[in-house]
Each structure stands twice: as C-alpha cells, then as structure tokens.
Amino acid sequence: MTDAIVIIPTYNEIENIEPIIKAVFAQDEWFHILVVDDNSPDGTPQRVEALQSEFKGKLFILNRKKKQGLGRAYIAGFEWCLAKDYAYIFEMDADFSHNPKDLVRLYKACKVDGADVAIGSRYVKGVNVVNWPMSRIILSYGASKYVRFITRMNIHDTTAGFVCYKREVLEAINLKSIKFLGYAFQIEMKFNAYKRGFKIVEIPVIFTDRTRGKSKMSGGIISEAIFGVINMKWKSFFKSYS
Ligand SMILES: Nc1nc2c(ncn2[C@@H]2O[C@H](COP(=O)(O)OP(=O)(O)O[C@H]3O[C@H](CO)[C@@H](O)[C@H](O)[C@@H]3O)[C@@H](O)[C@H]2O)c(=O)[nH]1
C-alpha cells in the first residue's frame, strides 16, 4: 500500500505528460500520480486517460472545467488527496523542470528525517537553474529575496513548485482561505506552513527549463506576487494561525 502521491497540474502539456508520468513511476513503484487538468485543448487529459489502464489503480486524473490558475488546480488536487489516505503529497511540474529522480530525496526528508515540508530548492547555495533566460533567473531569484525580506521566512526558494507536504500540514492549513491563483500560491502555502511552526527543509535541486511546451508565466502572475505578498504579510498581523 502506498502512502505517497505526486500531483501534476497540467495545462497544454501534451508533449510532456506521457514521459513525465512514466519517469515518476520509474522512480518508485509505490508512488501514485494525480494529474489535475484544466480542460487542456491539446489532448493532455485524453492522453492521461489512455494511460490509465497501463497504470491501473495508481494513475488518476481530475478534470476541471476551465483554466483557473495553478493555485486553484493544486487546491482541488490537495482536497482530492486528503479525501484518500495519502500521508505524503507532492507538487511537481509536468515539464521536467523538476527532475523526477529528486522525488525520493524529498520523500526521505519527510518520511525518514522528519520534515513536515520538504522543498526542492534552487537557491540554497547560489542559483541552480539550467537554461532559463537571464531575465527569468533575475525575476525568480529576485522574487525569492523579496519574499524573504517581506515575510521574514527563513526559506531561500519561496516560489518553488517542487514540494513534499506531510498530510498534517495540508490538513492544518485552511485551503479554502488560499486566494492566490498563480505562482504566489506557492508563497502563500509556505507562509501558512511556516506560521504554524511546521518543520520546513530545503533540499538542493537543479531546475532545468522546459524543452517542450510553453510556460504559463504572465504579467498578471508577477503583479499578483508582488502586491499579494505585501497584502498577505499585512493580514497576517491580524490572523491567528493556531
Ligand atoms: N491545471 C493547471 N495547470 C497549470 C496552470 N498553469 C500552469 N499549470 C501547470 O503548472 C506547471 C508549471 O507551470 P509553468 O508555466 O511551466 O511554470 P514555470 O513558468 O516553469 O514556473 C516555475 O517557476 C515558478 C516560479 O519559480 C514556480 O512557482 C512554478 O511552480 C514553476 O516551478 C506545469 O505543469 C503547467 O502545465 C493552470 O492554470 N492550471
């Protein structure tokens, strides 16, 4: 019986979805996968469904009606996983920017070494990013520094999207209260775990930019993060995290 599931959010990932599913199952035969798709028009959900008979009982898909952002997709995925009895719930991109081989390192950090949240971190020592344009590195690294300054969280990679959460963390966070839609969602989740005193560790990983398909990064996602973080910190003065 497995205790771990990897959530992979997808929007138009037809070129990546089959290889990433196979790469995850190749790491650990016990991992399950939940793909959360926002009605991708490129056939991503149909490709997942076609693979379900090959990976019976361990590959699941949550089909959502329309594109509502990374945050909403993950919240729906977390709720799905919490309704089952998974103890370790992962976030991972579909596009191989996160190396599936690192899944086991994050898993062990939680299961063996006792972390509540294990972050696959690009910025523990310097910048471990391959093939990103300089503008994107500056944006991401700058965002992490900015968030660290505003929130005072002792985390280097606050926007990381490669994370293992212990079930208890997701149960403690009021998921309905998580408002951000884009990558700021990643910051809000970590802030909530940090405020509640959960043990958060950063496992150094190398992030490699996608070679297939397109990033969904947009100006709206950036401004949500810039202004949203200040708002989140301000509201935290009046909020109880117990
Ligand atoms: N279901 C769904 N999935 C989405 C949506 N937007 C993005 N995704 C999926 O979420 C994953 C990450 O999206 P990308 O658009 O590839 O992200 P990125 O630009 O490479 O951004 C990376 O860096 C961010 C900032 O550091 C991270 O916050 C982010 O998680 C990711 O690792 C991919 O699997 C993509 O298909 C959405 O609205 N809905």
Atom 16 in ligand 1: residue holding the nearest Cα: 215
> Is the model more confident about 109 or about 237?
109
pLDDT of residue 135: 87
> pLDDT, tens digit, for every residue of 83-98?
999 999 999 999 999 9
Please give the distance, rounded to the nearest whole angstrom, from the Cα atom of residue 62 to the centre of ligand 1: 17
Residue indicated by tokens 């081989």: 101
> pLDDT, tens digit, for every residue of 156-191?
999 999 999 999 999 999 998 888 888 889 999 999
pLDDT of residue 242: 67
What is the average pLDDT value for the chain, to the nearest integer? Answer: 93
pLDDT of residue 132: 86
Q: What's the rounded mean pLDDT across residues 146-152?
A: 92
User: Which residue from 11, 7, 15, 10 is spatially nearest to 211, judged by alpha carbons?
Assistant: 15
pLDDT at residue 234 greater than cutoff 90: no
Kindly report the number of other CB atoms within 10 A of residue 225's CB atom: 23
The ipTM (two decimal places) reads 0.95
Please give the distance, rounded to the nearest whole angstrom, from the Cα atom of residue 12 to the centre of ligand 1: 11
Report percent pLDDT > 70 for the chain. 100
Which of 7, 8, 11 has the most ligand 1 atoms within 8 A of CB, as the residue to mutate? Answer: 11
> Is the model more confident about 75 or about 134?
75
Q: What's the rounded mean pLDDT across residues 118-131?
A: 92
Whether residue 136 has its Cβ less than 6 Å from ligand 1: no
Q: What atom in ligand 1 is closest to the CA of residue 181?
A: 38
> pLDDT, tens digit, for every residue of 49-67?
999 999 999 999 999 999 9
> pLDDT, tens digit, for every residue of 9-48?
999 999 999 999 999 999 988 899 999 999 999 999 999 9
* CA-to-CA dists, residue 204 to 106, 123, 137, 225, angstroms: 10, 7, 16, 23
Q: What atom in ligand 1 is closest to the CA of residue 98?
A: 32
The domain 4-236 is classified under which CATH number: 3.20.20.140, 2.40.160.10, 3.90.550.10, 3.90.380.10?
A: 3.90.550.10
In DSSP terms, 6 is beta-bridged to 33, 90
pLDDT at residue 80 greater than cutoff 90: yes
Please give the distance, rounded to the nearest whole angstrom, from the Cα atom of residue 148 to the centre of ligand 1: 21
Q: What's the rounded mean pLDDT across residues 117-145?
A: 90
Q: What atom in ligand 1 is closest to the CA of residue 36?
A: 1
Residue indicated by tokens 């037809």: 14
Whether residue 127 has its Cβ less than 6 Å from ligand 1: no
Residue indicated by tokens 């949240």: 117
pLDDT of residue 233: 87
Convert 26-41 to b/e letters by CB count within 10 Å (16 or more is b).
Answer: ebeeebbbbbbbbebe
Three-state SS string over 146-176 comes to HHHHHHCCCCCCCCCCCEEEEHHHHHHCCHH
Whether residue 37 has its Cβ less than 6 Å from ligand 1: yes
Whether residue 10 has its Cβ less than 6 Å from ligand 1: yes
Atom 14 in ligand 1: residue holding the nearest Cα: 215
Q: Roughly how many angstroms between the first and final C-alpha of the chain, as a whole number?
A: 32
- Per DSSP (E only), the strands in the chain are 4-10, 32-37, 59-63, 88-91, 117-121, 129-130, 163-166, 200-204, 207-208
pLDDT of residue 78: 98
